[in-house]
Amino acid sequence: MKERYFSFNIYLRKIFKEHIHRISLNAGFSCPNLDDKIDTKGCIFCNNAAFVQEDSLKNLQQQIIDAINFFTNSRRFKNVKKFIAYFQAYTNTYSDLAKLKQTYDVIKKFPQIVGLSISTRPDCIDEEILKLINSYTDDYLVWIEFGMQTSDDKILDWLNRGHTYKDFLKSVELTKKFPRINIAAHIILGLPGQDIIKDAKEINNLYLNGVKLHNLHVLRNTVLETLYNENKIEILEVDEYVKIVCDFLENLRKDVVILRLVSSAKDEYLVAPLWMKNKFDVISKIKKELEIRNSYQGKNFLE
């Protein structure tokens, strides 16, 4: 068997017949869980500085120019000619319509950009914003990524997400009115008390297009760091994480695109686990484990 899970790369190659890279952008939005609309403390794991580029306060257009130049000048990525603009930092639908349109429209200046991907909270979406996002589907591959994290409200509360699983369900239902927008769930694996099989089943039942995995990890200057230092939470060892990812994949529909298997964080912000610094090693362990099990995504999925 060639591929044991449906990676984002495979999916993109099927559509574009060439390698496509995501450009991660910081459009300068805020988040209602940080600016006091809901709370000021944010989610217990959140420190956006740990993954956004230091220079990402420069204007969006310059961020895109610099990223394209970086790929073009790199030996490894020199064959990548097309890109997806990925609005990743904070909550990328948290503004008025005019500002959102002005922000997303930056992609029109770059013929190399073929896709638009927007990451947001499930409680920061409405029909007007979705109409705007849908307007890009004529010319671009469009994804929206909602922070689901888990389907367990008690854990969502512990994470201080400031929304419930029902909010996530509502955001999916609303977005399904626009079938050309692909929907992904951002989900954390390794949460205390989490039933990952139930979470996989919820994603199956919703017929989502994709899922992005986040291994629970501790970043500096977060509530999670305090809990970790007080020995109040456990972070999975790499072999434990590999096992639960494989269990999760086995229970997921075959056609759900896996946007990511392991999180990334800048070294200076990462407290634990240190094994995620070697992302490629973790990915190869996951592939190896599926091979040993003679297994694949969807193996245990029953219609």
* 42 near ligand SF4, rule: CB under 6 A: yes
List the one residue from 33, 56, 117, 182 that touches ligand SF4 (CB under 6 A): 33
User: 224 or 256, CB closer to ligand SF4?
Assistant: 224
Which window, 40-48, 64-72, 103-111, 193-201, contacts ligand SF4 (CB under 6 A)? 40-48
* 216 near ligand SF4, rule: CB under 6 A: no
* 122 near ligand SF4, rule: CB under 6 A: no
* 90 near ligand SF4, rule: CB under 6 A: yes
Nearest to 56 by CA among 86, 84, 85, 89: 89
Q: Answer yes or no: are the C-beta atoms of 44 and 160 closer than 8 Å.
A: yes
- CA angle in degrees (0–180, nearest 5) for 199-202-208: 110
List the one residue from 12, 25, 46, 191 that touches ligand SF4 (CB under 6 A): 46
Give Cβ neighbours of residue 261 (< 8 Å, ≥ 6 apart): 213, 245, 282, 283, 286
How many residues belong to the site for ligand SF4 (CB under 6 A)?
11
How many Å from the N-terminal Cα to the C-terminal Cα in the chain? 22
List the one residue from 4, 22, 121, 217 that touches ligand SF4 (CB under 6 A): 121
Which residues, numbered 169-208, are part of the site for ligand SF4 (CB under 6 A)? none
Structure tokens, 276 = 């995620």
Structure tokens, 106 = 């930056």
Rounded least distance, CB 219 to ligand SF4, Å: 11
- For residue 155, list its beta bridge partners: none
- Kindly write out the interface string for residues 238-277 of this chain, putting x where it contacts ligand SF4 by CB under 6 A and - elsewhere: ----------------------------------------
Which residues, numbered 140-159, are part of the site for ligand SF4 (CB under 6 A)? 147
* 93 near ligand SF4, rule: CB under 6 A: no
Question: For residue 19, which amino acid is it?
Answer: H
Q: What single DSSP character describes residue 124? A: S
User: 83 or 94, CB closer to ligand SF4?
Assistant: 94
User: 214 or 285, CB closer to ligand SF4?
Assistant: 214
Q: What is the sign of the dihedral through the CA atoms of 71, 24, 11 and 301?
A: positive
Residue 51: how many other CB atoms lie within 10 Å? 17
270-272 vs 218-219, strand pairing mode: antiparallel
Question: For residue 258, which amino acid is it?
Answer: I
- The residue ranges that bind ligand SF4 (CB under 6 A) are 31, 33-34, 42-43, 46, 48, 90-91, 121, 147
